[in-house]
Structure 1
Amino acid sequence: MFVLGIEAATPVAAVAVVRGEKVLAERMVNNQRTHSVNLLPMIKAVMEDAGVTRQDLGGIAVSSGPGSFTGLRIGMATAKTLAQVWGLPIVGISTLEALAYPLTGQEGLICPILNARRDEVYAAVYRTVAGKLERLEGPMAIRPEELARRLESRDLPVTLLGDGVPVYGEFFLKQLGGRVLLAPGSASWPRGAPVAELGYRRLVAGEGMDPLKLLPDYIRLSEAEVKWLQKQKG
């Protein structure tokens, strides 16, 4: 089965095509152009690179959050529209799981963190069990101090990765000491290939759905919604 994976929940736009668990083609950009400009040309190019047409695809996988509200809306809208027009099932993949997935097998805890602004990170805690990634906590929007306390209570080494590392990495090193490993910058962004591969697994398991039923997982309210609620309370 060929699966198209789309990632747009962070400042990076990433697209990939897999056949089963084999990556055939992948593209990623981290530039100043919006995802609405980048995604469609990237999808067209990556399908050409993989040598597949829309008739070959068995489904579409898309990053469903958490992440940038605008990026999520663009990515979800693009994926859902294509799935509806092409008559394909769709699956949503957690942005945090897509980040953690390539580190399956890493000793100890795997903790992807995304900079959520407002002195918070989006985070989840994973561990490899019997060769598979198992989620222990999250996804959640949480203050770094509280996340550090939760990680410390588990008393295991932890690998941090994601775009929250350049912002909060030093803080976690001070709080958790030698138990923390900071993944390199190349692991800071979720890629299209893990989204597509995870999507393939879920499509094979029968978890594909009608694109109209797929919803983003924002985790918390947007700033505009928070202000609106405050105004209503006032």
Structure 2
Amino acid sequence: MTQKPLILAVETSGRIGSVAIAFGGQLLAEATFTGPMRHSAEIFPAVCGLLDRFSRKSEEIGHIYISVGPGSFTGLRIAVTLAKTMHLANAAKIVAVDTLDIIAANAVNLTTQNHEPQTTSHEKIATILDAKRGQFFIAVYQRNTSHRVWQKVLPDSLMTASDFLEQFAAADQPIWLLGEGLVYYKDKFKADGIFFLDEKYWRPRAEKVHLLGWQMALEGRFADALTLQPTYLRQPV
């Protein structure tokens, strides 16, 4: 990568959307939508507001990083459509970032304060999103202590809360949960060995889309604009 691009990061997979702009690896600003499921109404004003704030134009955007799912069907389509449009207009390169990974990134720098995960090779977290019909989108991660990152040990899966607890709940192997799937269904996941991170860590954010997207871009992991589709895990009906 010969020069640092102007980057737009988009998170519309969850209840509260957000966008961010960055210059290379440096985040410039993030804008959060004013309420739940305001993606269609607020995404373009939010993007324009950030660009105006830094005297930039949409034509200057060289990369767009999107939260590609799993998550809200409508929200995911909004992000994918925007990414494809910017690719056609600007030849902007696209990075598609897994939504459950984005949520997990909220826990990367947590300390032992307030009973949060310790930095040991045994600690695990699980990201939880509501998939409706009594099911959840879930991924599980274990700490890589040498790099202070979460390594995925259970890929994005569609399962019930009871299936998850049967597989992962153990009093001697604690696992910490986060994600918007807990907003209404936290009680379903209560069991020995199960702990919950503070609700402030549950929401996917454009800031983390940029963080992970920039790492992927440095590795050349760009999406094909022609074949790009949201990650649904279960097809919309």
Give TM class, smaller chain.
0.7 to 0.9
SS of aligned partner of 1:127: strand
Following superposition, the deviation at residue 20 of structure 1 comes to: 3.7
Counterpart position of 1:87? 91
Between the two proteins, what is the percent identity of the paired residues?
27
Counterpart position of 2:137? 122
Distance across 2 between alignment mates of 1:101 and 1:124: 12
Counterpart position of 1:192? 206
Letter in 2 for 1:164: G
**How many residue pairs are counted as aligned between the two chains?**
220
Letter in 1 for 2:20: A
Instruction: Indicate yes or no: 2:208 matched with 1:208.
Output: no
Instruction: Indicate yes or no: 2:153 matched with 1:136.
Output: yes
Q: Is the 8 A contact 2:12 2:39 kept in 1?
A: yes
Question: 1:134-179: per-residue Cα shift (whole Å, max 9, x none)?
Answer: 1011201110000112212695222211111122222322x2x2x3
Letter in 2 for 1:181: F
User: Which runs of structure 2 are paired with 1:165-180 in the superposition (5 Å)?
Assistant: 165-173=182-190, 175=191, 177=192, 179-180=193-194
Question: 1:165-222: per-residue Cα shift (whole Å, max 9, x none)?
Answer: 122222322x2x2x33212222221000111121111111111234223221100122
Distance across 1 between alignment mates of 2:159 and 2:181: 12
SS of aligned partner of 1:73: helix
Distance across 2 between alignment mates of 1:155 and 1:51: 54
Counterpart position of 1:27? 31
Which consecutive unaligned segments of at least 5 residues does structure 1 have? 225-234
| Greater helix fraction, Structure 1 or Structure 2 | 1
Distance across 2 between alignment mates of 1:155 and 1:22: 40
Which consecutive unaligned segments of at least 5 residues does structure 2 have? 110-116
Deviates more, 1:207-216 or 1:69-78: 207-216
Distance across 2 between alignment mates of 1:124 and 1:51: 39
Q: Is the 8 A contact 2:17 2:37 kept in 1?
A: no
Deviates more, 1:200-209 or 1:41-50: 41-50
User: Which runs of structure 2 are paired with 1:211-222 in the superposition (5 Å)?
Assistant: 211-222=225-236
What is the root-mean-square deviation in Å for CA atoms of aligned residues?
2.0
Question: 1:20-47: per-residue Cα shift (whole Å, max 9, x none)?
Answer: 4432100112525642211111111123
Letter in 2 for 1:219: L
Detail structure 1 runs of 4+ shifted over 6 Å in the superposition.
none
Task: Give me the TM-score of the superposition, normalised by structure 2.
Answer: 0.84
